[in-house]
Structure 1
């Protein structure tokens, strides 16, 4: 239990730093429920952390019926990830890097956070929890499933916002997806 909480704390902090310090300053999108929450923030100025937690409710109801451990640790992971995104908002004005450097660093930091959590069968949010459940049911690597979902979210954001800069978001989800896949690859990830 203590190890899981430490993993949640580390992973959530990395996600909060990556999103606020490197992704949001350039008005980009991350994948998963984070990406949808960021999109809602850009369109309607909703709170990213609160929107993130609310969007997760249906997924967690499914997880509750499917796997109580995924539900419990996923709920804690989502709460802490949402909290860290909100508390680390001041980082939006700290780093002043070119967009490509920010995308690579932000994607790497978020990918390490997400990958560490997924490796320990903890979800930092709804889409990753769905990916964990699908991986359990289908035996497909959780990182590959998460990457496919994230790509759909980014492409939908491109259509809604019509902002060419969002193409950089594909690089973010690619980095996060590669790291999540590497962290959860066969031999390292216990189902």
Structure 2
């Protein structure tokens, strides 16, 4: 249990730093429920972390019926990630890098956090949890599933915000998906650990 809490703490912190320090200041979006939460912030000023937790609730209910372990890990992962995003809000605007550098650094940090959590059968919540469940049933790599869902969210963001800069979000999604795929493929803990 202590190991899980350390992994959740590390992963959530990485996600929060990547979002607040590198993605949010540029008004870019990520994939999954984080991407939808960022989109709602840009459109109506919603709080990213709290919105993320609220959007994840239906997926928790779905996971509870199919796998209670994924449900518990998802709830803890999403709550911790959402709260850490709110906690690290002061990082917004702290770094002033060229957009491509910010996108790459932010995506690597987020992807590392997400990948480490997924590798240990812990979801940051939301669509990542859904991707984990689909991967378990379909045997398709979780990173590939996440990339497909994330690309759809970014295309929706492009349509709603009509900001060409959002094309950089595709790079974020690609790097996060690639890192999650690599981290979950290179080493997987045996089930039940």
Q: Specify the TM-score bucket, using the shorter chain as the normaliser.
A: over 0.9
**Would you identify which runs of 4 or more consecutive aligned residues in structure 1 move more than 3 Å?**
none
Partners of 2:155 and 2:125 lie apart in 1 by: 20
Q: How many positions carry a matched residue from both structures?
A: 191
Deviation at 1:47, TM superposition (A): 0.8
8 A contact 2:119–2:187 mirrored in 1: no
User: Who is 2:14 aligned against?
Assistant: 14
Question: Does 1:147 find its partner at 2:147?
Answer: yes
8 A contact 2:107–2:176 mirrored in 1: yes
Partners of 1:186 and 1:27 lie apart in 2 by: 33
User: Who is 1:49 aligned against?
Assistant: 49
Deviation at 1:84, TM superposition (A): 0.6
Alignment deviations for residues 48-104 of structure 1 (CA, whole Å, 9 cap, x no partner) = 111101000100000000110100011000000000100101101211101000000
Deviation at 1:188, TM superposition (A): 2.8
User: Who is 1:188 aligned against?
Assistant: 188
8 A contact 2:70–2:121 mirrored in 1: yes
User: Who is 1:31 aligned against?
Assistant: 31
Question: Does 1:133 find its partner at 2:133?
Answer: yes
User: Who is 1:177 aligned against?
Assistant: 177
Partners of 2:120 and 2:9 lie apart in 1 by: 13
- TM-score when normalising by structure 1: 0.98
Partners of 1:190 and 1:111 lie apart in 2 by: 22
Alignment deviations for residues 154-180 of structure 1 (CA, whole Å, 9 cap, x no partner) = 111111111000000000000000000
Deviation at 1:125, TM superposition (A): 1.9
Partners of 2:189 and 2:125 lie apart in 1 by: 18
Gaps of 5+ in 1: none
8 A contact 2:16–2:84 mirrored in 1: yes
Partners of 2:28 and 2:189 lie apart in 1 by: 30
8 A contact 1:32–1:125 mirrored in 2: no
Please list, as runs of the form range in 1=range in 2, the aligned pairs for 1:74-113 lying within 5 A after superposition: 74-113=74-113
Please list, as runs of the form range in 1=range in 2, the aligned pairs for 1:56-75 lying within 5 A after superposition: 56-75=56-75
Please list, as runs of the form range in 1=range in 2, the aligned pairs for 1:146-165 lying within 5 A after superposition: 146-165=146-165
Question: Which secondary structure does the structure 2 equivalent of 1:124 belong to?
Answer: coil
Partners of 1:122 and 1:86 lie apart in 2 by: 20
